[in-house]
Amino acid sequence: MKTAAVGCFLLVVLAGPARATDVTWDTIVGLTDDAAGQLTGYGGQHSIAVDAGGNVHVAWLDQRDVPYQVWYRRYDAGTSTWLAETALTTRPAKCFRPGMACDSAGNVHLVWHIESYTGPGIWCKRYDAATERWKPDTLIDATTTLQPQSYPSVACVPGSGDVEVAWYGLPDTGISNQVFVKEWHQTAGWDSAMPASTAPVNHDQVSLAAGTNGDLAVVWCGLDFGNDYKQVFCRRRVSGVWQDIELGSDLPTGLTQYAPGVAFDHDGAIHVVWHGRSLMNTYQQVFYRRHDAAGWSGIDSISGVRAYQQQFPSIVCDATGRCHAVWCSKAGSGRTQLIYAQRDTNGVWSSPMILTGFDSASISYPSITCDAGGGIHIVWHDDHTGNQDVYYLHGVMPGPGVSESRPSFLIPCASSGATVVRNRLILAEASRRKPQAASLLSISGRRVMDLHPGPNDVGCLPAGVYFVVGERRAVRPSAVVIVR
């Protein structure tokens, strides 16, 4: 057991990166308006992409046709207008939620899967930026078309034009869904599909990201290490060599984890988000973890502990090194709203921000991307007009050098009342009859956990300095140190 060292010190406020609250958000734009349902892909698939020219590309599953097809709409940066929506597929079988990505030449790569008695499969379609035309549909999983294949995620390797696709499905032999990765080269075309997972258990909810030099990160949910509950796993390709499978969501007392998303930053670090909960919490949270040259960081709850579900995150990193995440959460009216948070260039996550305020709709499956000019682009679907339609929101970050303030009450002085072991924070009982509410704050002033008198599980938090703050913030907080 180790005890927190508590002392007097002053937090100095320095000029820092722009904050999440500095984002200027435009008006929400409806991209569809049809009595049938329109559904965006899962966050890890990415239903939105932006090319180098600033054109925005959005794809979705559209139910106005039977069988369902993939539809598309583009924002033309040259004319500053949204072009008409159009059907991209005319398959004789139902198409499912798509994913998309842009390469450095401005080409758009779309992927989706179908299910049919004639054979399921993973399909792709390419928009040629030079000719401004879509190429024909291509079946890319020809070695496994006899078994179901589902929900592909696509990424483009920066600068090379190579395209990476990952999905889950049954191999030609075997009874468990595995994760597959397939690569397209401009000169050689499609490689054979490679199984990324190995354990004889079911896998699903796949997301893929590509970094420079062809580095890859594939994440999924499964029972790969004999877990009692599905967890998030990651497999990385570094300098062309596939690494061992790693457990990403190693939360103490963790229950089932869901919906991972992954992104690379400009330094080659990998950023992973997902939602789930542990035995210590009633509601699901959005968790975050980073991998860089030093290895895996601790796990951070970027949503905080709240009395409602936090679900289905999507993440992207911009050219300055900031990361942006969106997810769904109930708030205010009881409806599911769009939530946004940002990790600044100092590695500090902002407090979550509610971007919508619908009282008669629920946001579903948001996806986020960004452009080189500081633009943030988000799509989702909701039913606030009476049926499921696709919506878009654009935000703009200011330039670097904006002062980042800290809460004025974070000027701690020596006090007692909290003890730390490796995974538990002991909050002393108050002398009053009524229990006193308290929160645990990060050094940036962001609430990371609600505390109760007695033991509190802090095993999911990274090592560092935190502050215990009572419900009356006029009272000076206690500084605590979590060690590993």
Q: What is the pLDDT of residue 419?
A: 43
Angle CA 392–54–401, to nearest 5: 90
Cα gap 136→225, rounded to integer Å: 41
Are residue 61 and residue 38 in the same domain, yes or no? yes
* Residue 477's pLDDT band (cuts 50, 70, 90): low
The CA radius of gyration of the chain, in Å to the nearest whole number, is 23
User: Peptide bond preceding 67: is omega within 30 degrees of 0, i.e. cis?
Assistant: yes
Average pLDDT of the residues of the chain: 84
- Comparison of pLDDT for 416 and 325, the residue scoring more: 325
Q: What is the pLDDT of residue 315?
A: 98
Are residue 337 and residue 427 in the same domain, yes or no? no
Are residue 102 and residue 174 in the same domain, yes or no? yes
- 255 Cβ partners below 8 Å, 6+ apart? 229, 276, 277, 278, 279
Last residue of a domain, one of 342, 366, 396: 396
pLDDT digits (tens, 9 = 90+) for 257-285: 999 999 999 999 999 999 999 998 899 99
Q: What is the pLDDT of residue 84?
A: 97
Sign, CA dihedral 132-136-140-141, equals positive
- 61 Cβ partners below 8 Å, 6+ apart? 38, 39, 40, 41, 68, 69, 70, 71, 95, 96, 97, 98, 112
Mean pLDDT of 81-93: 94
- Comparison of pLDDT for 1 and 31, the residue scoring more: 31
- Domain tally, the chain: 2
Cα gap 66→95, rounded to integer Å: 10
Q: What is the pLDDT of residue 26?
A: 95
Say which CATH number the domain at 142 has. 2.120.10.10
Q: Percent of the chain having pLDDT more than 70?
A: 81
Residue 386 — left, alpha, or beta (φ > 0 → left; ψ -120 to 50 → alpha)?
A: left
pLDDT digits (tens, 9 = 90+) for 172-215: 777 899 999 999 998 899 999 999 999 999 999 999 999 988 99
The neighbour count for residue 176, using CB atoms within 10 Å, is: 15
Are residue 256 and residue 148 in the same domain, yes or no? yes
Are residue 299 and residue 327 in the same domain, yes or no? yes
Cα gap 111→95, rounded to integer Å: 10
pLDDT digits (tens, 9 = 90+) for 120-136: 799 999 999 999 999 99
Side-chain half-sphere exposure of 180, counting CA atoms within 13 A: 28
Are residue 322 and residue 438 in the same domain, yes or no? no
Cα gap 99→122, rounded to integer Å: 11
Q: Does residue 475 register a pLDDT over 90?
A: no
The distance in angstroms from the start CA to the end CA of the chain is 11
What the block records as the tokens of 290 is 């980073």
Q: Domain of 189?
A: 20-396
Side-chain half-sphere exposure of 364, counting CA atoms within 13 A: 17
Cα gap 266→357, rounded to integer Å: 33
Are residue 95 and residue 173 in the same domain, yes or no? yes
Are residue 260 and residue 377 in the same domain, yes or no? yes
Q: Does residue 338 register a pLDDT over 70?
A: yes
pLDDT digits (tens, 9 = 90+) for 95-152: 999 999 999 999 999 999 998 656 679 999 999 999 999 999 999 986 666 788 999 9
The neighbour count for residue 383, using CB atoms within 10 Å, is: 15
Are residue 11 and residue 81 in the same domain, yes or no? no
How far is residue 479 from each of residues 266, 414, 441, 453, 458, measured CA to CA in Å? 34, 8, 10, 16, 15
Last residue of a domain, one of 378, 396, 414: 396
Cα gap 92→480, rounded to integer Å: 61
Contact 126, 107 (CB under 8 A): yes
Mean pLDDT of 418-424: 52
Q: What is the pLDDT of residue 19?
A: 66
Are residue 289 and residue 420 in the same domain, yes or no? no
- 89 Cβ partners below 8 Å, 6+ apart? 69, 70, 95, 112, 123, 125, 137
pTM for the predicted model, two decimal places: 0.79
Are residue 217 and residue 146 in the same domain, yes or no? yes
Mean pLDDT of 70-84: 97
Last residue of a domain, one of 345, 363, 396: 396
Q: What is the pLDDT of residue 331?
A: 75
Cα gap 442→300, rounded to integer Å: 10
Q: What is the pLDDT of residue 437?
A: 66
Say which CATH number the domain at 473 has. 2.60.40
Are residue 309 and residue 447 in the same domain, yes or no? no
